[in-house]
Amino acid sequence: MLPLDVPTMLLMTAAASATMALSMAAVRPERREGMGLWALALVLHTITYLLFTLRGAVPAWASVVLANTLLAGTFALALAAVRQFQGHGLPWRRMLVPVLAMALLFAWFQDDYRACVIVAGVVPPLQVALVLWALWRPKPPAQMRGAVLLTAGLGLQAVLLAVRGALAALHSIPTQGLLRTDGVQSLTFMAAFVVVILASLGFILMAKDRADANNHYFATRDALTGLFNRRALLLAARRDVAVAARSHEPYALMMVDIDHFKAVNDGHGHQVGDQILCHVAGLLSARLRAQDMVGRYGGEEFLVLLPNTAQQAAAELAETLRSAVAQCPCAREGCAITATVSIGVCGGQLHGTEDWERLLRCADQALYAAKAAGRNRVVSGRFVPEAAQPLATPVI
């Protein structure tokens, strides 16, 4: 049916496995979760198909019993690799039971080719189901593209083995041996090649997507509080401001600063100061709406971006935040202190991206006014977009 003979297909599969294993070796060690096990699965897979190909040239226990046991071992390792990638322990029972079952069933049926094909059409597909269950349950993986590829690869292998088993059960395939060049056997070998590439690429893609997500997280987050960092805030603000100017929706901004923070550091130590920063960060982020964004702008200063929010609504939200901080003492280890914050609020209708600088200065001046007026309070600045007019007039 296919122009390629079995040894050629074996070579192609071995080359694909080696290429994929080498690609995994090129991944940085700390990003290789599960890849060592996956590479081992590729080695077992190659040996399995080599033994299949050597049928007749090597004893039956090797080309039938051992080869199929190794095939089950391949899927057991795939399961282990997925679990390790997810940060879970290895499910020894789900890994070893199918391998033992394959070994015993093939030892029992080794002279009955049809029974062997049927067993191979049941146990490995069940193993694939276990791998896919681990991958997609209890919730779909975050690395969707890679997971879909991996599923397509392993799924293809499982379906082909199951179909072959079903055909054998129905007496529809020749029962003399694996190396007959009929269509079903050729397809099985060809599938092995495709499966190695699809599933391994899927696994590599999952690792890459996770690494990208981690890189993005660390590039946009403040290491101490876990809030967005200044760079991420400013990027988001410029995007938000452009949208707000185009859609004529109001936009507001809050600048939040912890009061007398230097005294906290001096009196209780920097570790307690850090705890207070995390405590306030938690209180702020817990009380914002999904569309809002809070980040650490500087030392003990936070910036809150409020898309589609008018000045009055922003001032009310600021008051909620201020009172939440004033009423919630820090309950973290070693820091029973109640912090207070001063908040400058500014918002209005924006006319262009250049209004961002004016809005920021307006909020900053309002914050300055809140500090000057005694701290632990909210001051609203009056945002005036036209350059000729005063930037901010605090209203206390």
Ligand X SMILES: Nc1nc2c(ncn2[C@@H]2O[C@H](COP(=O)(O)OP(=O)(O)OP(=O)(O)O)[C@@H](O)[C@H]2O)c(=O)[nH]1
So which residues are the catalytic ones? 300
For residue 53, the one-letter residue type is T
Out of 33, 209, 274, 319, the only residue in the binding site for ligand X (CB under 6 A) is: 274
Q: What is the DSSP letter of 111?
A: T
Which one of 75-83, 107-115, 271-279, 354-362 is the stretch in contact with ligand X (CB under 6 A)? 271-279
How near is the Cβ of 369 to ligand X at its closest, in Å? 12
How near is the Cβ of 274 to ligand X at its closest, in Å? 5
Phi, psi (deg, nearest 5) at residue 21: -65, -40
Out of 12, 123, 237, 277, the only residue in the binding site for ligand X (CB under 6 A) is: 277
Q: Which is nearer to ligand X, 78 or 281 (CB)?
A: 281
How near is the Cβ of 302 to ligand X at its closest, in Å? 12
Q: Which is nearer to ligand X, 150 or 363 (CB)?
A: 363
Out of 100, 219, 224, 395, the only residue in the binding site for ligand X (CB under 6 A) is: 224
d(CA 1, CA 222): 60
Out of 19, 220, 229, 265, the only residue in the binding site for ligand X (CB under 6 A) is: 265
d(CA 322, CA 205): 45
Q: Which is nearer to ligand X, 21 or 363 (CB)?
A: 363
Q: Which is nearer to ligand X, 181 or 271 (CB)?
A: 271
d(CA 148, CA 136): 10
Q: What is the DSSP letter of 305?
A: E
How near is the Cβ of 266 to ligand X at its closest, in Å? 7
SS3 1: coil
Contact between 216 and 210 (Cβ < 8 Å): no
Report the site for ligand X in 356-375 (rule: CB under 6 A): 371, 375
Out of 246, 270, 289, 351, the only residue in the binding site for ligand X (CB under 6 A) is: 270
Out of 95, 258, 346, 370, the only residue in the binding site for ligand X (CB under 6 A) is: 258
Sheet with strand 301-307: strands edge to edge: 293-298, 301-307, 250-258, 341-349, 378-380
Q: Supply the angle between the helices 113-120 and 144-169 in degrees, to the nearest 10.
A: 150
Residue 299 binds to ligand X (criterion: CB under 6 A): yes
Q: Which is nearer to ligand X, 311 or 376 (CB)?
A: 376
Out of 31, 262, 289, 351, the only residue in the binding site for ligand X (CB under 6 A) is: 262
Out of 85, 261, 302, 368, the only residue in the binding site for ligand X (CB under 6 A) is: 261
d(CA 291, CA 308): 9
Out of 146, 273, 307, 348, the only residue in the binding site for ligand X (CB under 6 A) is: 273
Q: Which is nearer to ligand X, 174 or 334 (CB)?
A: 334
Report the site for ligand X in 163-192 (rule: CB under 6 A): none
Question: Nearest Cα to 299, choosing from 321, 276, 315?
Answer: 276
Report the site for ligand X in 228-257 (rule: CB under 6 A): 257
Q: Which is nearer to ligand X, 94 or 268 (CB)?
A: 268
Q: Supply the angle between the helices 144-169 and 123-136 in degrees, to the nearest 10.
A: 160
Buried b (16+ CB within 10 A) or exposed e, 284-299: bbeebeeebbbbbbee
How near is the Cβ of 312 to ligand X at its closest, in Å? 26
Which one of 124-132, 182-190, 201-209, 272-280 is the stretch in contact with ligand X (CB under 6 A)? 272-280
SS3 208: helix
d(CA 285, CA 253): 15
d(CA 251, CA 73): 59
Binding site for ligand X (CB under 6 A): 224, 257-263, 265, 270, 273-274, 277, 299-300, 371, 375
